[in-house]
Chains A and B, each alone.
Chain A
Amino acid sequence: MSTVDPPIPLATATGFLSEPELAAIRHELGHYENPRAACIEALKAVQSARGWVPDPAIPAIAELLGITPADVEGVATFYNMIFRQPVGRHVIKVCDSIACYLTGYEELAAAVRTATGLDWGQTGADGRFTLLPVCCLGNCDKGPSLMIDDDTWGPLSAAEVPALLERYL
Chain B
Amino acid sequence: MNARTPETHPLTWRLDHGAPVETLAAYEALAGYAAARRALADLEPAALTQLVKDANLRGRGGAGFPTGVKWSLVPMGADAGRKYLLCNADEMEPGTFKDRLLLEQLPHLLIESMVLAAWAIQATRGYVFLRGEYVLATERLNRALAEARERGYLGRNVLGTGWDFDVFVHTGAGRYICGEETALINSLEGRRANPRAKPPFPQIAGAWGRPTIVNNVETLCNLPGIVLHGAQWYTALSRGLSGDGGTKLYGVSGRVRRPGLWELPMGSSARTILEDLAGGMQPGLELKAWLPGGASTDFLLPEHLDLAMDYDTIARARSRLGTGLMTVVDRTQPIVPVVRNLEEFFARESCGWCTPCRDGLPWSVKLLRAIERGEGRPGDIEILESLTTQLGPGRTHCALAPGAVEPLQSALRFFRSEFESGIRASAASKETV
Contact = CB atoms under 8 A, between A and B. Distances in A.
Contacts of A65: 190
Interface stretch (A4-12, A72-80, A110-118, A158-166): A72-80
A87 to B, nearest CB: 14
Given A99-B253, A135-B349, A140 B259 contact: yes
Contacts of B170: 31, 41
Contacts of A41: 170, 190
A76 B75 CA distance: 35
Contacts of A64: none
Nearest to B339: A98
B208 interface: yes
A136 interface: yes
Contacts of B325: 140
A65 B330 CA distance: 52
Interface string A126-165: 0000000111111111110001001010000000000000
A135 B135 contact: no
Interface in B60-113: 91-97, 99-100
A36 B348 CA distance: 27
Nearest to A104: B255
Contacts of B327: 98-99, 102, 140
A85 to B, nearest CB: 16
Given A81-B132, A136-B93, A152-B133, A103 B255 contact: yes
Contacts of B187: 40
Interface in A51-78: 65, 74-75, 78
Contact of A97 (B95, B100, B135): B95
Interface stretch (B23-31, B171-179, B379-387): B171-179
B266 interface: no
A96 B345 CA distance: 8
A2 interface: no
B97 A138 contact: yes
Interface in B163-197: 168, 170-176, 187-193
B100 A138 contact: yes
A19 interface: no
B291 A139 contact: no
Interface residues of A, number: 42
Contact of B173 (A43, A133, A139, A142): A43
B368 interface: no
A86 to B, nearest CB: 18
B134 interface: yes
A26 to B, nearest CB: 15
A138 B99 contact: yes
B91 to A, nearest CB: 5
B246 to A, nearest CB: 22
B189 A36 contact: yes
A38 interface: yes
B193 A141 contact: no
Contacts of B338: 98, 101-102
B173 A135 contact: no
Contacts of A97: 94-95, 295, 341, 345
Contact of B193 (A78, A93, A134, A137): A78
Contact of A141 (B97, B172, B192, B333): B97
Contacts of B252: 141
A3 interface: no
Contacts of B251: 140-141
Contacts of A38: 190
B254 A99 contact: yes
A74 B193 CA distance: 11
A136 B100 CA distance: 12
Given A134-B133, A141-B253, A78 B175 contact: yes
A40 B188 CA distance: 9
A99 to B, nearest CB: 4
A82 B175 CA distance: 11
Contacts of A93: 133
B261 interface: yes
B329 interface: yes
A79 B174 contact: yes
A93 B131 CA distance: 14
Contact of A135 (B92, B168, B333): B92
Nearest to A36: B190
B260 interface: yes
Given A38-B190, A78-B192, A143 B133 contact: no
Closest 7 CB pairs of A and B: A39-B190, A79-B173, A140-B253, A97-B94, A141-B259, A81-B174, A80-B174
Given A135-B176, A136-B93, 18 more contacts: A34-B208, A36-B190, A40-B173, A41-B170, A74-B192, A75-B191, A78-B351, A97-B95, A98-B341, A102-B329, A102-B338, A135-B345, A138-B100, A140-B95, A140-B259, A140-B325, A141-B260, A150-B135
Interface of A: 31-34, 36-41, 43-44, 65, 74-75, 78-82, 93, 96-99, 101-103, 133-143, 147, 150, 152
30 contacts: A31-B170, A32-B189, A36-B190, A40-B187, A40-B190, A43-B173, A65-B190, A75-B190, A79-B175, A79-B193, A80-B174, A81-B173, A96-B341, A97-B95, A97-B341, A98-B94, A99-B94, A102-B328, A102-B333, A103-B253, A103-B254, A134-B133, A136-B92, A136-B94, A136-B95, A138-B92, A138-B99, A138-B131, A141-B251, A141-B259
